[in-house]
Amino acid sequence: MAFDIEMIKKVYGSMAERVDKARGLVGRPLTLSEKILYSHLWDGTPTRAFTRGKDYVDFAPDRVACQDATAQMALLQFMHAGKSKVAVPTTVHCDHLIQAKIDAKADLKRAKEQSNEVFDFLSSISNKYGIGFWKPGAGIIHQVVLENYAFPGGMMIGTDSHTVNAGGLGMVAIGVGGADAVDVMSGMAWELKFPKLIGVKLTGKLSGWTAPKDVILKVAGILTVKGGTGAIIEYFGEGARAMSCTGKATICNMGAEVGATTSTFGYDESMDRYLRGTNRADVADAAAAMAPYLTADPEVYANPEQYFDQLIEINLSELEPHLNGPFTPDLATPISKMREEAIKNDWPLNIEVGLIGSCTNSSYEDISRSESLAKQAVAKKLKPKSKFTITPGSELVRYTIERDGFINTFDNIGATVFANACGPCIGMWDREGAEKEERNTIVHSFNRNFSKRADGNPNTLAFVGSPELVTALAIAGDLGFNPMTDKLINEDGEEVMLDEPTGWELPPKGFSVEDAGYQAPAEDGSKVQVVVSPASERLQLLAPFEPWNGQNITGARLLIKAFGKCTTDHISMAGPWLRFRGHLDNISNNMLIGAVNAFNMKTNSVKNQLTGAYDAVPAVQRAYKAAGIPSVVVGDHNYGEGSSREHAAMEPRHLGVRVVLVKSFARIHETNLKKQGMLALTFNDEADYDKIQENDIFNFVDLKEFAPGKPITIEVIHDNGTTDTIIANHSYNEGQIGWFVAGSALNLIAAAGAATAH
């Protein structure tokens, strides 16, 4: 039986009425995305039609999921909300703090020793507030959610950008910062600008070497890393229906890499099979009764150009396997062109390591297709030229693949099976030799490949592909190898070819597990004590941010003018810094250390205007904070791309940065800045970015008139005495301005809670 089946039935109980009402208000057939959005309005039954990309709307998500790295800060904030229990079903998943180094058993043991304090904190606070807790080793949050909590037609938010993975089961699942999660856990409305809609019509059928991963790699090449910003991507067509549920999840997962709010698929037989295969026949039965409401109206898919803001068509029968990278997930190359591109760009052809797994590609189907190639390698006497690693997505998957002999097959080719955790995908990889920073190539089935992300080496070129393609490339050890056409020389000196991979959508013998790793919360958590030591270097209770004083910000100094791509990995690195995710002051020592300073093209080297000396970014900002001087960060396009980590907003706020002024923002990061009481602004004229000089001082001359839709005027004083006047735009509405005035959204929640208590 499913978790929260009564909640799911309640959602379905009101869905038909709400969708029918919305269809009448909008005056046309509805997409699946619209049906889910309109059936989850905070006010219940719709009373008006909303304008895509314009109207801010309050929603009521069904559930919240948090991973351990972000859960720490989210729950530390929730402690200030004054609530005795979470208002909606919520889970915490311990998957980010397990470093991959030796193998699953040794790595999990070491993680429990090193991060015991954090795991104990998360376990106790989950117990206190009615939160389901998934222990270290239970699996990666998104795979566990897909197996246990996702349901067609639902809406959930999660404190990880790849929460969108649940779209594979027909949800609208959205990655958010911890402050957003606190709103929902506290029983408040969750705000989102009503998304635009991108339709992707899939015709034909996948076959041979092509996998669901290749669909999203192709889409990333079309849309680029910011082409989906502010939009939901809705997939449909015969190609979508022919795909497995976990394949759909892979596609939705990497929608985060094009900036999409989320991605989703209409309910079909593959979802029914997956629900029943994961012991949720009750959900499958309930969904089947609601089937017409869990996909778009027929007219939409018949004439999609009339209902979507943008339409993309992909013929799966003609789609070729792709590799995307290096350094960005949208640089898409068909495998047949890879050798040519690698030689042209001087990418090292020798592959050092092939890695499969992660939240993107760690299902039974993924691993079974990879195992079919490993079995071939043994039979055809092919010894892999590259190191090879496997990261199962959950204990359910790991136990089942071990039972079915897959792990034994991987052992036969010398592979390493890591723990059921994020590991190398998020930089939690203690890779031998990475500190030498040698130029090298790796291939993986993960979702992101930013510089330094996997192993901390800026000279590691990471390419993203399907698990089966990664496996073939690791066997060949050659980035230019095309398994569809190229032969390999085996240990007997014979020419052999790899046959097409095969696999199972679901395990023929069904899933099996001894201990999935779930801990249910106490019925009454009132007596549970949550203890945080004042001397801890891992955890720190939060103090509220100061409210705005109502005055214009004047005399602000430039902290850094970031050049080019500045992702959340650049603003708040993961990897070894993950250990400080529950201690705001300690983790603030990584603030913007990966950003490139436009004035000297170096990282972590900015000018301290008080001394004239160059120093680390956090050190300079701490000097400004000590002197009571506000500061400004200036950035390029899509600033804050990548993870949902709100530390990238909380660290600048904690250290005294007041304003972030950029050409454009990634959606989640802009919201995170607003939630923490920061001023998030965009250049009205992007060319004004070039006017910013190293020793500039900023005066925000009309901030006292801060209002929705009203630009802000900035006087920029250069050190030669000249000035420039820059106009900056913002997207704050009245409620969000309230966050700024109060000092943060959490300050407003706490104040409301205190008022209610009295």
From the candidates 62, 68, 160, 688, give the one annotated as an active-site residue.
160
For residues 299 and 364, state if they share a domain: no
Give the residue-averaged pLDDT of 55-72: 96
For residues 229 and 335, state if they share a domain: no
pLDDT by residue (tens digit) across 347-371? 999 999 999 999 999 999 999 999 9
For residue 587, what is the domain's CATH number?
A: 3.20.19.10
**DSSP code at position 548:** P
Q: How far apart are the first and last CA of the chain?
A: 42
pLDDT band at 245 (very low <50, low <70, confident <90, very high): very high
Give the residue-averaged pLDDT of 228-245: 97
For residues 398 and 446, state if they share a domain: yes
For residues 575 and 478, state if they share a domain: no
Residue 398 lies in a domain: yes
Buried b (16+ CB within 10 A) or exposed e, 352-383: bbbbbbbbbbbbbbbbbbbbbbbbbbeebebe
Radius of gyration of the chain (CA): 25
Whether 643 is a known active-site residue: answer: yes
| For residue 644, pLDDT beyond 80 | no
Helix (H, G, I), strand (E, B) or coil at 687: helix
Whether 448 is a known active-site residue: answer: yes
pLDDT by residue (tens digit) across 554-565? 999 999 999 999
d(CA 455, CA 474): 18
For residues 41 and 178, state if they share a domain: yes
Which of 452, 484, 516 is the endpoint of a domain? 484
DSSP H helix total and E strand total for the chain: 25, 30
Which of 292, 315, 338 is the endpoint of a domain? 315
Give the residue-averaged pLDDT of 308-320: 98
Q: Which residue has the tokens 């900023």?
A: 698
Q: Which residue has the tokens 């290749």?
A: 214
| For residue 673, pLDDT beyond 70 | yes
pLDDT for res 657:
98
734-742 and 667-675 are packed helices; what angle lies between their axes, rounded to 10 degrees? 50
Residue 46 lies in a domain: yes
pLDDT band at 749 (very low <50, low <70, confident <90, very high): confident
Residue 585 lies in a domain: yes
Tokens describing residue 410: 């991987």
User: Beta-carbon neighbour count of residue 275 at 10 Å?
Assistant: 25
For residues 374 and 229, state if they share a domain: no
| For residue 756, pLDDT beyond 60 | no
Which of 434, 461, 484 is the endpoint of a domain? 484
pLDDT by residue (tens digit) across 397-436? 999 999 999 999 999 999 999 999 999 999 999 999 999 9
Domain count for the chain, please give it. 3
CA angle 101, 419, 479 (to 5 degrees): 65
pLDDT by residue (tens digit) across 585-598? 999 999 999 999 99
Which residues are paired to 558 by β-bridges? 632
From the candidates 126, 643, 644, 744, give the one annotated as an active-site residue.
643
Residue 228 has φ and ψ, to the nearest 5°, of -100, 5
For residues 292 and 372, state if they share a domain: no
The candidate with the shortest Cα–Cα distance to 197, out of 37, 346, 48, 335, is 37
pLDDT band at 750 (very low <50, low <70, confident <90, very high): confident
Residue 90 lies in a domain: yes
Residue 654 lies in a domain: yes
For residue 335, what is the domain's CATH number?
A: 3.30.499.10
From the candidates 62, 95, 272, 366, give the one annotated as an active-site residue.
95
Whether 241 is a known active-site residue: answer: no
pLDDT for res 757:
53
For residues 296 and 365, state if they share a domain: no
Q: Which residues contact 561 (CB under 8 A, 6 or more apart)?
A: 597, 598, 599, 634, 635, 689, 692, 694
Question: Taking a C-beta distance cutoff of 8 angstroms, is the pair 416, 354 a contact?
Answer: no
User: Beta-carbon neighbour count of residue 551 at 10 Å?
Assistant: 9
pLDDT for res 531:
81
Tokens describing residue 573: 């690195």
Residue 132 lies in a domain: yes
E-state strands within 242-309:
262-265
Q: Which residues contact 180 (CB under 8 A, 6 or more apart)?
A: 157, 190, 671, 675
| For residue 690, pLDDT beyond 70 | yes
The candidate with the shortest Cα–Cα distance to 442, out of 422, 426, 424, 430, is 424
For residues 230 and 372, state if they share a domain: no
| For residue 535, pLDDT beyond 80 | yes
d(CA 115, CA 61): 31
pLDDT for res 200:
98
For residues 568 and 661, state if they share a domain: yes
For residues 301 and 349, state if they share a domain: no
Question: Taking a C-beta distance cutoff of 8 angstroms, is the pair 239, 203 a contact?
Answer: yes
Give the residue-averaged pLDDT of 714-718: 98
Tokens describing residue 305: 């150009």
Whether 96 is a known active-site residue: answer: yes
Question: Taking a C-beta distance cutoff of 8 angstroms, is the pair 551, 536 a contact?
Answer: no
Residue 592 lies in a domain: yes
Structural domain span for residue 428: 322-484
How would you write 167-228 as a 3-class SS string? HHHCCEEEECCHHHHHHHHCCCCEEEECCEEEEEEEECCCCCCCCHHHHHHHHHHHHCCCCC
Q: Which residues contact 581 (CB under 8 A, 6 or more apart)?
A: 69, 70, 72, 73, 96, 587, 647
| For residue 753, pLDDT beyond 70 | no
From the candidates 63, 448, 581, 669, give the one annotated as an active-site residue.
448
User: Given the DSSP bridges, would you call strands 712-717 and 723-729 parallel, antiparallel or unpaired?
Assistant: antiparallel
The whole-chain average pLDDT of the chain stands at 96
| For residue 48, pLDDT beyond 70 | yes
Give the residue-averaged pLDDT of 441-460: 95
pLDDT by residue (tens digit) across 251-296? 999 999 999 999 999 999 999 999 999 999 999 999 999 999 999 9
The candidate with the shortest Cα–Cα distance to 500, out of 478, 485, 479, 480, is 485
DSSP one-letter string for 397-454:
HHHHHHHTTHHHHHHHTT-EE--SS-GGGGT-B--TTGGG---EEEEESSS---TTTT
pLDDT by residue (tens digit) across 625-636? 999 999 999 999
Residue 66 lies in a domain: yes
For residues 337 and 460, state if they share a domain: yes
pLDDT band at 1 (very low <50, low <70, confident <90, very high): low
From the candidates 93, 398, 645, 647, give the one annotated as an active-site residue.
645
